[in-house]
């Protein structure tokens, strides 16, 4: 599983990718952010989580440096033992939330994704 960002013809990169980039730029390639580390820009802990989400739920905005281009992402942390500025890496988790909780049919949803783990 990849953590796919998109590079556009103007050199900008976005995560997640979009069919059209900034200023109407066309996508030219995808980049797997799971091959990079990032820095925590800010983070928080939610103790009132939606059904099926870990409690407490540690969440961060992180910033990747991909060949001099800044790319930000938001996601769960593997621990609350972090500080702003810490280096993290994406790690795949097959269940970011418990499939049996919630109002949708479990088979209709993707449950896996990336969390950020301190390096």
Ordered DSSP codes for 17-42: --SS-GGGPPEEEEEEGGGS-EEEEE
**Per the structure, how many domains does the chain have?**
1
Q: Does residue 53 form part of some domain?
A: yes
**Sequential DSSP letters for 90-115:** EEEES-SB-TTSSSS-GGGS---EEE
Tokens of 38: 């990032």
- Domain encompassing residue 68: 35-118
Which regions in the chain score pLDDT beneath 70? 97-111
Residue 84 belongs to a domain: yes
pLDDT at 100: 65
Please report the pLDDT score of residue 102 as a whole number. 64
Domain assignment of residue 24, yes or no = no
pTM, two decimals, is 0.87
Q: Looking at the domain assignment, is residue 11 inside a domain?
A: no
Tell me how far apart the alpha carbons of residues 79 and 93 are, in angstroms, rounded to a whole number: 14
* 16 is a domain residue: no
* Residue 6 counted as domain residue: no
């Amino acid at each position: 599983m990849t953590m796919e960002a998109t590079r556009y013809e103007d050199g900008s990169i976005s995560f997640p990718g979009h069919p059209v980039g900034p200023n109407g730029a066309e996508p030219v390639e995808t980049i797997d952010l799971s091959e990079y580390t990032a820095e925590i820009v800010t983070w928080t802990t939610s103790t009132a989580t939606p059904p099926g989400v870990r409690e407490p739920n540690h969440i961060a905005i992180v910033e990747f440096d991909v060949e001099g281009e800044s790319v930000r992402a938001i996601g769960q942390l593997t621990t609350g033992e972090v500080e702003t500025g810490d280096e993290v890496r994406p790690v795949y988790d097959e269940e970011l939330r418990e499939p049996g909780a919630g109002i949708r049919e479990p088979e209709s949803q993707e449950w896996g994704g990336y969390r950020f783990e301190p390096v």
